Structure 1
C-alpha cells in the first residue's frame, strides 16, 4: 500500500509539473476518444437491432456450451459482454488514432523531460512511437480475447462436470456463478493492467507485440497487488465520469429530446474531465514501470535478491 501511494503521488506531481502539456494533449488528442467512449453507452438503446444481434449470438454460444439457462450470472454476463463488444467496435477508430497518438506524445514528454524540454513534442518526435504502440495494442486485443476465452472454457468445464456428476442443484449453480463472477473480474483486471503496462514498455524499450507483453508480465511479477491498487483510482474516476455523463447529459436529452446550451457545456466539461483522467491513467502506468525498473536496478546492484541486515561478525569482517 505504501508503494502504491508513492506511485500515485508521483503521478499527480508529474501531471502538475507538465500541466500545460498534458492538458493540451487531453483537449486535442484524447477528447475525441473520450467523447466516443461516453457516447457509446448512450447509443446502445438507439441501435437495438445491432445490439440484439450481438446478444442473441452470445446467448446461443452459452446455450451450445451447456451453461444453465436459468443462471442470472450468464444473463448478466451476456448483457455486459454485448455492451462491451458494441463499445469496442464503436470506439475502435478513435482508439487506434487519437488515443494511441496521445499515449505516444505523453511518453515522449517524459523522455524529453530529462533534457528539460517540457513542452508538447512535435509530431515528428512521437509518430515513430505510434506504430509500435499500434502493433502492441492490436496484440493486446488478442490477449484480452484469449483471457476471456480461457475463463469461459474453465467455466464450461466446471458446469459440465457438475452436470455429469448429477449435483447441478440451484445452490451449486449459484455458488459456481458467484465464483465465476469473481474469477472473471480478477482475470480481466489483471489482463487490463498487463496490457496497459505493455503499451508503456513498448514505447520505452522499442519492442512490439508479444515481446512487450512478456516484459510487462515479468515486471509485474511479485507486484500484482501494487499494480491493481494504483490502477483502481483512475479507473474509478473514469467510471464516475461515464456515469455522470449518462445521468446529467443523456437523461436530460431523453426527457426533453433536445440539448440546451447548458447541457452542451456540461457534456463538454464532463468529456474533458474524462480526458484528464485518461492522461492520469497513462502517467500512473509510466510511474509504475519506472518504479519496477528502479526496484530491479537496486536489486541488481546489490548482487542478491534477499536484502538483509549484516550480522556484527559480518560487519567486522567486511571492515577488515
Structure 2
C-alpha cells in the first residue's frame, strides 16, 4: 500500500508543476545571492557571452562558415537527401552551430567552465554532523582551491559532451537517411510525402538534440557538484538522474534558452544592424553592446543555477523514494 501511495503521489505532480517549483527555487537562490552571482556573471560569464555574440555577428562574412555550409551541402547530396526547406534550414543551423562552437571553444573551456564551477561550489550540498543537508553560505564566492580542484573534471566532461553531441547528430542523420531511403524504395517520392517526412524529421531531430543537450548540461553540473565523477561517468549519472524527468528538464530548458535567444536577437537588432549601417561603432552602440552582453551573461548564470537546482531536486526525490521504501522492505524481512 505504501508503494502504491508513493507512485500515486508522484504521478499527481505534473512535469510543469515540478519545473515551476525548480524555477522558483532557482530564481529565489539567484536573488538571495545576487551579489555573488552577478560577480560571476561579470568576471567569468561575460567574456564567454561576448565571444558568443561576436562570433554570431561575424558569421555571415566568415569564410569558415561558408566552407562548413558547402561541405554539409555536399554530404546531404551524397547521402541522397531530397532537396527541401528542412534540409536547407538544417544546413544553415548546423553550420552556424559548428562555427560558433569552434570560435568560442577557448572561452567555453576557461571562462564558462570556471563560472559553472563557481556557481556549483556556492550551491553544493555539504555533509555536516547532525545536519542532513546544509547549503554553503552565499555571502561570498567559493574558495579558489575548491574551484581549481573541480575544474579538470569539468573540462573532461565538456570534451566528452562534444563527442556525445556529435554522436547524437550522426545517429539522427542515420535514421533520417533510412527513412528517406525506405520512402524512395516504396515509391513515396511525391511532394506531400517529402514534406511529411521532413516535418517528422524536424520533430525527431529537435527532441533528440534537446534531450542530448539537457543530459550534457546536467553532466557538467554533476561533475562540478559530485567529487570523483567526470567524463563518461558524469554522463551516465546524468542519464540515471534524468530518467522519468525528461519532460521536466525540457520544460526548464525552454524559458532559459528563450531568454538567451532574445538577448542574441536584441544584439543583432540594436548593435549589428546599426554597425552595418553606420560602418563604425559609436559610443552609444558600444554601451548597448556591453549591456546586452551582460544580460546574456546573467542568463547563462541563471541557466547554471537552474541546472544545479534541478539536480538537487532529483537527488531529493531519489532520497525520498528510498526513505519511503525502506520501512516496507524491513517489514518484509521480519515477516
- TM-score, normalised with respect to structure 1: 0.92
Which of 253, 265, 280 is the aligned partner of 1:243?
265
Distance 1:67 1:234 in 2: 33
List per-residue Cα deviations over 1:281-318 (Å, max 9, x = no partner). Answer: 00000000010011110100011799xxxxxxxxxxxx
> 1:171 pairs with 179, 192, 205, which one?
192
SS at structure 2 position matched to 1:45: helix
TM-superposed deviation, 1:44: 1.1
State the alpha-carbon separation in 2 of the partners of residues 193 and 279 from structure 1.
16
1:4 lines up with 2:19 in the alignment: yes
Alignment correspondent of 1:312? none
After superposition, residues 85-104 of structure 1 pair within 5 angstroms as 85-104=98-117
Q: CA deviation at 1:33?
A: 0.2
Q: Say whether residues 1:214 and 2:236 are aligned partners.
A: yes
2:90 is equivalent to residue 77 of structure 1: yes
Is structure 2 residue 105 aligned with structure 1 residue 62?
no
Q: Does 1:105 align with 2:118?
A: yes
- In 1: Cα distance, 2:327 partner to 2:246 partner: 18
Moved over 6 A (4+): none
The answer as to 2:42 corresponding to 1:31 is no
Q: CA deviation at 1:123?
A: 2.1
The Cα of 1:40 is off from its aligned counterpart by: 1.1
Distance 1:299 1:51 in 2: 49
Query: 2:49, 2:297 within 8 Å by CA — same for their partners in 1?
Result: yes
Deviations 1:61-120 (A, max 9, x none): 11111111x211111111111111111111111000100011001111123873536311
Aligned-residue RMSD, C-alpha: 1.5
Point out where structure 2 has 5 or more consecutive residues left out of the alignment. Answer: 1-15, 127-133, 329-335
* Partner of residue 258 from structure 1, selected from 270, 280, 284: 280
Partners in 2 of 1:246 and 1:117 — Cα distance? 35
Q: Give the Cα–Cα distance (whole angstroms) in 2 for the partners of residues 2 and 221 of structure 1.
A: 17
Residue segments in structure 1 that go unaligned for 5+ positions in a row: 307-320
Answer yes or no: is the 8 Å Cα contact 1:109–1:118 preserved in 2: no
Match of 1:16 in 2: 31
Tell me, yes or no, if structure 1 residue 279 matches structure 2 residue 293: no
CA distance in 2, matches of 1:290, 1:124: 23
> Equivalent residue for 1:162?
183
CA distance in 1, matches of 2:136, 2:199: 52
Partners of 1:4 and 1:226 within 8 A in 2: yes
- TM-score normalised by the chain length of structure 2: 0.88
What are the residue-to-residue correspondences of 1:86-165 with 2, within 5 Å? 86-111=99-124, 114-116=135-137, 118-165=139-186
